[in-house]
């Protein structure tokens, strides 16, 4: 229970520090947001995109879920995507997975009969589509990390096929989609692939292995 008071104390200290450095810091936050990126990432608490990208406040419009999945029946994500692209005018979208992802690792075993297990069935679909490329890897950690990469690829394709993205492409918007993986070992982002309006989606192959 001590952790809750500590969070509140840290918040007050942080707010005071911001005001000391910049008395207009919070007033500017009231002027609205103009993010350059929509970030779709994993909910893992070790992965903090605003920290490791050093994005300024308001620079990232963020959606996170376990294993950074893009599902067309996920009303939450579809609303975030529509608002980011059509209202905020975001023209850069990142899907960022991360190595040693617990959700991806769990998908390689028996899933529990629970909301988490049902959610991760969508990663099993990715595995089923690429099983030979994953199961040929003998080291279990490397197998997880390869599925992380392949999952980013498949989720980027799901994103590209959404009505929002297709409408933006059709209108001539310079919208670009980026598939990245964050490496917990060194803090670096590993780019995997990009998609824009000229990309032939049915010709997008599996990404090259980055972590070997």
Q: How far apart are CA 212 and CA 209, in angstroms?
A: 7
Q: Which two tokens stand for residue 38?
A: 């929509």
Q: How far apart are CA 71 and CA 130, in angstroms?
A: 18
Is 64:41 a contact under the CB 8 Å cutoff? yes
Backbone angles phi, psi at 182, to 5 degrees: -95, 130
Is 204:153 a contact under the CB 8 Å cutoff? yes
| Number of CB atoms found within 10 A of residue 169's CB | 18
What's the start-to-end Cα distance of the chain, in Å?
Answer: 42
Q: Give the active site residues.
A: 42, 44, 46, 98, 101
* Helix locations, the chain, DSSP H: 3-21, 25-29, 49-52, 75-82, 102-107, 115-129, 131-135, 140-160, 163-170
Q: How far apart are CA 178 and CA 113, in angstroms?
A: 33
């Amino acid at each position: 229970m001590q952790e809750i008071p500590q969070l509140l104390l840290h918040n007050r200290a942080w707010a005071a520090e911001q005001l000391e450095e910049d008395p207009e810091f919070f007033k500017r936050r009231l002027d609205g947001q103009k993010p350059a990126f929509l970030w779709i990432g994993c909910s893992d608490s070790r992965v903090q995109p605003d920290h490791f990208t050093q994005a300024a406040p308001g620079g990232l419009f963020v959606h996170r879920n376990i294993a950074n999945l893009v599902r067309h029946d996920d009303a939450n994500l579809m609303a975030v995507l529509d608002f980011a692209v059509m209202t905020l005018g975001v023209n850069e979208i990142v899907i960022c997975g991360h190595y040693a992802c617990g959700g991806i690792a769990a998908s390689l075993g028996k899933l529990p009969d629970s909301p988490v297990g049902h959610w991760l069935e969508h990663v099993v679909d990715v595995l089923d589509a690429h099983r030979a490329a994953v199961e040929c890897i003998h080291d279990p950690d490397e197998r997880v990390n390869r599925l992380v990469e392949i999952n980013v690829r498949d989720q980027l394709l799901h994103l590209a096929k959404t009505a929002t993205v297709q409408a933006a492409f059709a209108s001539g918007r310079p919208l670009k989609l980026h598939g990245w993986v964050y490496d917990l070992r060194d803090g670096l982002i590993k780019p995997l692939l990009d998609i824009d309006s000229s990309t032939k989606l049915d010709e997008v192959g599996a990404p090259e292995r980055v972590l070997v």
